Amino acid sequence: MQAICLGLKRKGRKIAFVPTMGALHEGHLSLVRRARKLGDTVVVSVFVNPTQFAPGEDFARYPRPLSADKRLLVTEKVDLLFLPTASDIYSTDHSTFVDVEEISSILEGAARPGHFRGVATVVAKLLNVVCPDVAVFGQKDGQQVAMIKSMVRHLNFPARIVVAPTVRERSGLAMSSRNRYFNQEQLSRASCIHRGMRAAEALAIAGEEDPAKIEAAARSEIEPTPGVRIDYIAILDPDDLRTLDRVEGKAGIFVAVWLDGVRLIDNIIVRPSRRGRK
């Protein structure tokens, strides 16, 4: 794969890369379409990366509908599909890992120890194999995006990181491969996450600057939903995930909930204007 990609680059091709774990949905396809606009060769990887799952997580049951994924990628006219096995990526003596320390220690990092180390390591390896000019990630995994941008900066990867907006169901629920675990009734309950974030956003736009009050607005929308347990709702700087004392400019509302035993994450970025604020 590396030889093919380097060969393409020598011929002057601009490689746009979309790394995925498969179980593709409209969210992934929007990343592929964005990649198409950014490069002249679109490479997609499908690899369910074992090192980003902690013991007891859903690695074994993570959906792997490979034939359907391939059909979607053909429809999107993707140039190259990289489909490595675990042993292609991790040799038996593999013992080098990438840790983006600060950003990986909070939110998802606190709840899923080792998760971001696994993500950073595999993304570093994929960037080294595919050598893209640009790599496209979804805002849906907001903390992952912040971490990858830091890693690329800290380790001087030559790739440009582009972030594409979250694609949502009509209910507002963010598209996610893990939504496949749910039936219609559960999907409808899961839409409380989006309602909560929008309630928080409305308060911030109305002029509320206190992160605790903005968080409470989201909580009061999400908490009463049956079967839902909130892990966190955090109002943070979306770029470096610093805690905000006041919401005066751009702010990220990050949410993680458990719904009937499945963990769901989402975020939105709010941009309250100065006008009309108290």
Interface with ligand PAF, residue 123, by CB under 6 A: yes
Q: At what angle do helices 142-154 and 115-130 cross, to 10 degrees?
A: 60
Respond yes or no: is residue 194 known to be catalytic.
Answer: no
For residues 142 and 270, the answer to whether their CB atoms sit within 8 Å is no
Interface with ligand PAF, residue 119, by CB under 6 A: yes
Interface with ligand PAF, residue 127, by CB under 6 A: no
Interface with ligand PAF, residue 21, by CB under 6 A: yes
Judged by CB under 6 A, the number of residues near ligand PAF is 10
Partner residues linked to 250 by β-bridges: none
For residues 202 and 218, the answer to whether their CB atoms sit within 8 Å is no
Q: Which of 28, 94, 115, 154 is catalytic?
A: 28
Estimate to the nearest angstrom the gap between the alpha carbon of 80 and the chain centroid.
Answer: 22
Q: Which stretch binds ligand PAF (CB under 6 A): 118-126, 128-136, 183-191, 228-236?
A: 118-126
> Alpha-carbon distance 91 to 144, whole Å?
25
Q: Which two tokens stand for residue 274?
A: 């100065």
The phi, psi pair for 203, rounded to 5°, reads -65, -45
Quote the least distance from Cβ 10 to ligand PAF, whole Å: 26
For residues 82 and 129, the answer to whether their CB atoms sit within 8 Å is yes
Q: Which of 141, 208, 215, 266 binds ligand PAF (CB under 6 A)?
A: 141
Partner residues linked to 229 by β-bridges: 258
Interface with ligand PAF, residue 247, by CB under 6 A: no
Contact flags string 30-69 toward ligand PAF, x per CB under 6 A: -------------------x--x-----------------
SS3 (DSSP) at 57: coil
Q: Which of 73, 122, 234, 241 binds ligand PAF (CB under 6 A)?
A: 122
Interface with ligand PAF, residue 20, by CB under 6 A: yes
Residues at the site binding ligand PAF, with contacts judged by CB under 6 A? 19-21, 49, 52, 119, 122-123, 141, 144
Active site amino acids:
28
